[in-house]
Chains A and B, each alone.
Chain A
Amino acid sequence: MTETDLAAYRHWATTPLQTKPTYSVVIPAYNEEWRIIPTIGAIATHMCALGEPWEMIVADDGSTDSTVELVADLGLANLNLLVADANGGKGSAVRRGIFESSGEIVLFADADQSTPIEQFGDLLAKIDEGYDVVVGSRAAVGADVASKSLSRTIFSYGLKTLVQTLFRIPVSDTQCGFKMFTADAAMLLFSRQVIDEFSFDLEILFLAKKFGLRTTEVPVTWIDAPGSKVDAAKVAVEFVKDLIAIRRNDLAGVYATDNHHPDSAGVKAGGSIPSQTNRQAA
């Protein structure tokens, strides 16, 4: 059994796909030289064992350490490394990765493996049930959060309440770096999305609701990986500003469906709004 899994990995590592991938896994990476290689190894092994064609996209975000050199040096045949000249924020990195993806189903996952890739199948099951957007949630019942610091817990509780009252988004954890989309949903959402920093997640969920995409959450294990570069207090302030910005953008028609993000030029499924019949949010 394990022999064949390892063989599947070796094949993936050395032989470029001949078919369109079923799955794409996008990893945004900003100065991740210390964390990203083990993450790539864990994701690649798990995904290869699923037996479907899949691709990995590492979207560098203007890293100033050796992230790009290290990842390029792996020489993995189905790893597409996108290099950015400058740091543009996690939202911009994920967006570039999504636009480059060609899988039928797209997951983005943080470079620190804080949500173990083993949970891919739990999210996929929801896509199979007919959802367009499935987010890993550290707050949903059943989620298992290891060593989340107190300030982070309070921070995320505050955000959760704010988000639910302001936006009525059916998700209790908007920020978890483990989200899955159908390709159509991903192209639609990321071609409309304009926030480049951490609240891009919230904007995506806001847009999913606005466009009537079926969205749900799945409880995930989340291990607070050391080395997070996020300053919780600073992020909280930015987040609230972004909440207001999203509202303002919406009122100003920024998300009107004929506005496309310039990065999406040339993206095939540029994204159409689902027909009225299935615009019922789950």
Chain B
Amino acid sequence: MNIIPTVSEIELQGRFDAHEAESFREIVDGILANSASLSVVLTAVDFVDSTALAELVRAMKRCREAGGDLILVKPSDPVRVILELTRLDAAFTIT
């Protein structure tokens, strides 16, 4: 029997910037190989730069192409404000 998870969750902490983009992508790609949806908990993230935002957008597109979604879970205040200022709050599903 194979158990295939359909929604996965990861939690990020600290600063999510260009230095983290590659390892984020690797982990996310690994998860999305088996799952169409992904929840990313952003409560403990204090900063996202444009590269990090681009990674989130990329992951979101991938999920949606597979019929799932990328969900941003409880972003911290700064992350919420950055999403608003970049108008990406309208593009993402944010809880």
| Interface of A toward B, CB cutoff 8 Å | 2, 5-6, 9, 34-35, 37-38, 40-42, 44-46, 49, 74, 112-113, 116, 118, 146-147, 223, 225-227
B19 touches A42 (CB 8 A): no
Q: Determine whether B82 belongs to the interface, using a CB cutoff of 8 Å to chain A.
A: yes
A116 touches B86 (CB 8 A): no
Q: Determine whether B18 belongs to the interface, using a CB cutoff of 8 Å to chain A.
A: yes
Task: Write the B1-45 contact mask toward A (1 if CB under 8 angstroms, else 0).
Answer: 000000000000001011100000000000000000000000000
Return B30 CB to nearest CB of chain A, in Å. 24
A-B contact pairs, 22 of them (CB 8 A): A2-B77, A5-B77, A6-B77, A34-B50, A38-B47, A38-B49, A38-B50, A38-B53, A38-B82, A41-B78, A41-B81, A41-B82, A41-B85, A42-B82, A74-B85, A112-B49, A113-B47, A116-B46, A223-B15, A225-B49, A226-B18, A226-B19
Q: At the interface, is chain A mostly helix, strand, loop or mixed?
A: helix
Return B92 CB to nearest CB of chain A, in Å. 15
Q: Which residues of A contact B80 (CB under 8 A)?
A: 6
* CB nearest neighbor in A for B51: A226
If A118-B46, A225-B49 touch, does A147 touch B19 (CB 8 Å cutoff)? yes
Q: Which residues of B contact A49 (CB under 8 A)?
A: 77
Q: Determine whether B48 belongs to the interface, using a CB cutoff of 8 Å to chain A.
A: yes
Partner of B81, one of A34, A44, A223: A44
